[in-house]
Amino acid sequence: MKIALAGAGAFGVRHLEGLARIDGVQVVSLVGRELAKTQAVAARFGIRHVATDLAASLAMRDVDAVILCTPTQMHAAQAIACLEAGKHVQVEIPLADSLADAEAVAKLQRETGLVAMCGHTRRFNPSHQWVHRKIRARELAIQQMDVQTYFFRRSNMNALGEPRSWTDHLLWHHAAHTVDLFQYQTGDEVVVAHAIQGPMHPVLGIAMDMSIQLKTRSGQICTLSLSFNNDGPLGTFFRYICDRGTYLARYDELFDGREQQIDVSKVDVSMNGIELQDREFVAAIREHREPNASVAQVLPCYRVLHQLEQAMR
């Protein structure tokens, strides 16, 4: 399977590292905004074709699928371009930064029948997989999820500490992880959604702090705190409060409520959530099936995000 990857930044590299561990997969084209930096990444991974325009990769007949690790504001339009070119596509989270755009991608996927998946990585992290399997086996039931998403981004920098060409967003990017995971883990629809946000950053034009409350039809609740102002441990920390036990998920690691680590090394073939996400994308294409985290499956998340955005306005 030949794949083109757009976005040679921090997350693009993480996908390239994951794809390198999947048999029968070759990245044949790399797209990046800055040619010299993109060429350097391509050389590191042995990628023969480099471009600064996604259209150049889509024109390649031997490209079967595309992974988009580009700025949020480009995701929907680029996903549509991939589907129109007859390419399967995986879009890094978020699928879009508006409900209308997310629905447009989902509509085109239905029309083409191609695999279109969104990078909702929390579905694939071994820590969250472990909890999900316990829920499906009816060994656990979630009562409440308490989630903290904290970063220190008072200036527009990326995960590598380099200046960003675009502006990140607490609601349409970081909250999307938790809103989707909450509905995925509970297997239920969010019917109550509230949000408040702090002051807008004078330069970036985004809220730097946000608080979200969710409730499912069957009564489970979720409290999500997000901040770009936190000077401390960075990342997202999930506390599952269940009818039988409490569990703390920190990316690919899992602890019980008393901070005793749970071994999740045998949950899947890797401990790397990005690699597992890419494995699902490749497998869905090969097996002609809908992937976990397909655009259709994650669309309810974007409906909730839209509702929250309207409420805050």
Phi and psi at residue 216, to the nearest 5°: -85, 170
Q: Comparing 163 with 56, which gets the higher pLDDT?
A: 56
Q: In the predicted model, is pLDDT for residue 223 greater than 60?
A: yes
Phi and psi at residue 286, to the nearest 5°: -65, -35
Q: What pLDDT was estimated at residue 156?
A: 61
46 vs 49: CA distance, rounded Å: 9
| pLDDT digit string, tens, across residues 269-282 | 999 999 999 999 99
pTM for this predicted structure: 0.94
Q: Please name the residues in contact with 80: beta carbons below 8 A apart, sequence gap of 6 or more.
A: 104, 105, 108
| Nearest alpha carbon to residue 136 among 146, 117, 123, 145 | 123
| pLDDT digit string, tens, across residues 30-71 | 999 999 999 999 999 999 999 999 999 999 999 999 999 999
Mean pLDDT estimate for the chain: 94
Q: Residue range 102-112: average pLDDT?
A: 98
Architecture of domain 125-267: 2-Layer Sandwich (3.30)
Domain boundaries, the chain: 2-120+274-291, 125-267
| Cα torsion angle, 265, 122, 216, 208, sign | positive
Query: Quick one: pLDDT band at residue 138, thresholds 50, 70, 90?
Result: very high
Phi and psi at residue 195, to the nearest 5°: -155, 145
Structure tokens at 204: 């970036």
| pLDDT digit string, tens, across residues 177-217 | 999 999 999 999 999 999 999 998 888 888 899 999 999 99
CB 66 within 8 A of CB 58: yes
How many angstroms separate the Cα of 288 from the Cα of each of 40, 85, 116, 140?
Answer: 34, 18, 12, 32
Q: In the predicted model, is pLDDT for residue 166 greater than 70?
A: no
| Nearest alpha carbon to residue 127 among 280, 222, 263 | 263
Going by their DSSP bridges, the two strands 221-227 and 116-119 should be labelled as unpaired
CATH class of 2-120+274-291: alpha beta
